[in-house]
Amino acid sequence: MADEQFPGWHGTTIIGVKKDGEVVIAGDGQVSLGQTVIKGTARKVRRLSPGGHEVVAGFAGSTADAFTLLERLETKLEATPGQLARASVELAKDWRTDKYLQKLEAMLIVTDGKDLFVITGAGDVLEPEHNVAAIGSGGNFALAAARGMMESDRSAEDVARDAMAIAADICVYTNGKLTVERIKV
């Protein structure tokens, strides 16, 4: 079916905030098909433990595609224990060059508590400026809100939650039912 015939999946806001020795990734629970909310309680933030090293990942985009990428990331992390940057770069290289993976429509925010990265299908592994990363339909709203709060005395979790609340008030594809995962350094 042509893209213009199918209304398309929308609806995710994921934010990662690194502040005061902890990293928080939060994601909303809304999944929409066109203008209809299909589900309001999806879990788009997951804790991975390959080889005993904890990693938190949040995804935006197609759920099946995101799960494929999370599985690939786990495999890369098992091959390079404790090396999130290396595993992320290896995943991005595969994603960029593998004909099957190139068709996947998702993005990831990942952290091991030390590093915070955005991984894209364009082969990017981006370490955000200002210790805040956001993706998805409400990502820019959440990013702007969080950046405005980073100099406050709020914790990483409070910044993430407040930024997600602002994004949910603005973006019709984002709701306030959050999944929040933290890792301390």
Q: What tens digit of pLDDT does each residue of 94-114 get?
A: 888 877 777 788 889 999 999
Domain region containing 33: 9-184
Annotated binding site: 168, 171, 174
Rounded percentage of the chain residues whose pLDDT exceeds 70: 94
Q: Which residue has the higher pLDDT, 62 or 7?
A: 62
Residue recorded with tokens 């015939």: 5
Active site (annotated) includes residue 179:
no
Q: What is the CATH number of the domain that holds 130?
A: 3.60.20.10
pLDDT at residue 23 in the model: 98
- What do you get for the CA distance between the two ends of the chain, in Å? 46
Q: 4 in a domain, yes or no?
A: no
Rounded to an integer, what distance in angstroms lies between the CA atom of residue 118 and that of residue 85? 11
Residue 84: CB atoms within 10 A of its CB come to 22
Q: Which residue has the higher pLDDT, 185 or 182?
A: 182
Q: 57 in a domain, yes or no?
A: yes
Q: 104 in a domain, yes or no?
A: yes
How large is the average pLDDT for residues 6-25?
Answer: 82
Q: How many domains does the chain have?
A: 1
Q: 1 in a domain, yes or no?
A: no
* Among 57, 78, 59, residue whose Cα is nearest residue 137: 59
28, 175 in Cβ contact below 8 A?
yes
How large is the average pLDDT for residues 17-31?
Answer: 96
**130-162 burial, b for 16+ CB within 10 Å, e for fewer?**
ebbbbbbbbbebbbebbbebbeeebebbebbbb
* Among 143, 117, 147, 136, residue whose Cα is nearest residue 29: 136
DSSP 82-112: T-HHHHHHHHHHHHHH-TTGGG--EEEEEE-
Q: How many helices (H) and strands (E) does the chain have?
A: 4, 12
**pLDDT per residue as tens digits for the range 119-160:** 987 889 999 999 999 999 999 999 999 999 999 999 999 999
Active-site entry in 12, 13, 80, 111: 12
43, 180 in Cβ contact below 8 A?
no
pLDDT at residue 31 in the model: 87
Q: 73 in a domain, yes or no?
A: yes
* Among 28, 25, 33, residue whose Cα is nearest residue 43: 28
pLDDT at residue 122 in the model: 82
Q: 2 in a domain, yes or no?
A: no
Q: 24 in a domain, yes or no?
A: yes
Annotated binding site for Na(+): 168, 171, 174
What is the DSSP secondary structure assignment for residue 157, as one 8-state letter? H
